[in-house]
Amino acid sequence: MSTDAAIAATAMRAATGTLAALGAELRTLRPTGQRARLAALPALVVVLATVLACALDLPDPWWAGISGFITTQTTRQGAVQKGARRLIGTMAGAALALPGVGWFVYDPVLCSLGLFVVAAVGMLGVVVSPHGYAWQIAAITFSIVVLTALDDPTRAFATAVFRSAEVALGVGTAVLAARALAPAGSAAPPPPPPGWHDLFGRQWPAVLHGVRSGIAVAVLPVIWGWFDLPALTAIAMTVVSILAAPVLATHPLDDAGRIIDKSVKRLIGCGLGGGIAVALLALPLDSLPLWLAALFAGLWLFGWLESSTRGIGYAGIQAALAFIIVLVQGEGPPVSLIPALNRLAGIVLGLLILLGVSFVVRPAEEAPAAAPADAA
């Protein structure tokens, strides 16, 4: 079988398996029970963080919602640890980006090089560092600040400040909710990370993961210039934000089978979340209670999927992120479908870029093996 045929067959198996697992999970939905309560916690956090961000007139309340969703854990200690790393990473990434903005906006080559280096190192840190999540968020925040400055250099400082404020709000809401509603204790500790050694030996797959992420971010200003896209800020925010979901720490996209499997889950998850959000906006959701109820219901569903034992937790996370990005547009209920469609287009663009880069920069092999189910 040729490599192209093997890739197509693996993608078909991954899509079929993911859709079958989604169908099975939907048949298990129950409004009561421990799993239902755990799914309700991140949904409640996102609603509260979004309302507070709107009340404080923050420019992108959806970023507070995403921060709340990702920070929410099943235990109090887990929420505190993840929230601290997200907040520290955000401030570090903003502080790193601001001094170089004056050079980046006037030198496209330096800009792409800077984006590549920071994103690659940050995403490599996810796999090899004990503080990997902080490395990841630092790289994402750096990329957002720099890409926003390309669209409007005068917004760089405000972007850094407001992203930090939105993240702090989302993290604070998640931590307070966890302390009030989540059980005490901590989850089982993950395997210790390998550290920053032997990067060109046993850890070469992790380096490739970082390189792929770096290229995906670095090409954004190039694509923006080639196609004369109208709003780099909106595209950058949606493209870079999909990198914020957890990666497989023990297998950082280290073979074609896993690349395909994860890409399929990402596509299906984002399509599900973004599609449901667009469908809800067609109602329309022009009252605050109705909008918040729809936001809560959708995130409860994706929280249920995230806790799946059928290997589709990653798809549930991606669905939740896309749902928040599309449904939460400004300082209250959305009034137009156009921003939602633009954001969904940005998500699709980001997915295509990541998918393309993943297959260009990957280990040499004759054919992809079938990827096992992952636990997000």
In a domain, 22, yes or no: yes
**Per-residue model confidence (pLDDT) at position 13:** 86
Reply yes or no on whether the pLDDT at 251 is more than 50: no
Residues 129/85, Cβ–Cβ less than 8 Å: no
In a domain, 54, yes or no: yes
In a domain, 189, yes or no: no
**Per-residue model confidence (pLDDT) at position 188:** 61
In a domain, 25, yes or no: yes
Structure tokens at 192: 């210790």
In a domain, 41, yes or no: yes
**Residue 248 pLDDT class (50, 70, 90 cuts):** very low
Number of helices (H), then strands (E), in the chain: 15, 0
Reply yes or no on whether the pLDDT at 318 is more than 70: yes
pLDDT digits (tens, 9 = 90+) for 19-43: 999 999 989 988 888 889 889 999 9
In a domain, 368, yes or no: no
CB atoms within 10 A of CB 263: 20
Amino acid 357 reads V
In a domain, 145, yes or no: yes
**Residue 249 pLDDT class (50, 70, 90 cuts):** very low
Structure tokens at 257: 């089978």
Average pLDDT, the chain: 80
In a domain, 192, yes or no: no
Count of structural domains, the chain: 1
Comparing 82-91, 136-145, 330-339, 366-375, the range with the smallest average pLDDT is 366-375
**Per-residue model confidence (pLDDT) at position 314:** 85
Mean local confidence (pLDDT), 322-338? 81
CB atoms within 10 A of CB 247: 22
**Per-residue model confidence (pLDDT) at position 51:** 94
Reply yes or no on whether the pLDDT at 109 is more than 60: yes
**Per-residue model confidence (pLDDT) at position 95:** 93
Query: CA-CA distance, 325 to 232, in Å (whole number)?
Result: 16
Nearest-CA neighbor of 112 among 242, 212, 222, 211? 222
Comparing 128-132, 215-219, 360-364, the range with the smallest average pLDDT is 360-364
- DSSP character string of 112-151: HHHHHHHHHHHHHHHHH-TTHHHHHHHHHHHHHHHHHHHH
**Per-residue model confidence (pLDDT) at position 233:** 55
Mean local confidence (pLDDT), 251-258? 52
- DSSP character string of 323-374: HHHHH--SSSS---SHHHHHHHHHHHHHHHHHHHHHHHSS---SSPPPPPP-
**Per-residue model confidence (pLDDT) at position 52:** 95
Mean local confidence (pLDDT), 49-61? 92
Mean local confidence (pLDDT), 323-331? 85
**Per-residue model confidence (pLDDT) at position 367:** 42
pLDDT digits (tens, 9 = 90+) for 255-290: 556 667 777 888 888 889 988 988 888 877 778 899
**Per-residue model confidence (pLDDT) at position 219:** 83
**Per-residue model confidence (pLDDT) at position 261:** 77
Reply yes or no on whether the pLDDT at 68 is more than 60: yes
Reply yes or no on whether the pLDDT at 296 is more than 90: yes
Reply yes or no on whether the pLDDT at 352 is more than 70: yes
* Domain coverage including residue 316: 3-184+199-360
- Helix (H) / strand (E) element for 68: namely helix 61-71
**Per-residue model confidence (pLDDT) at position 246:** 42
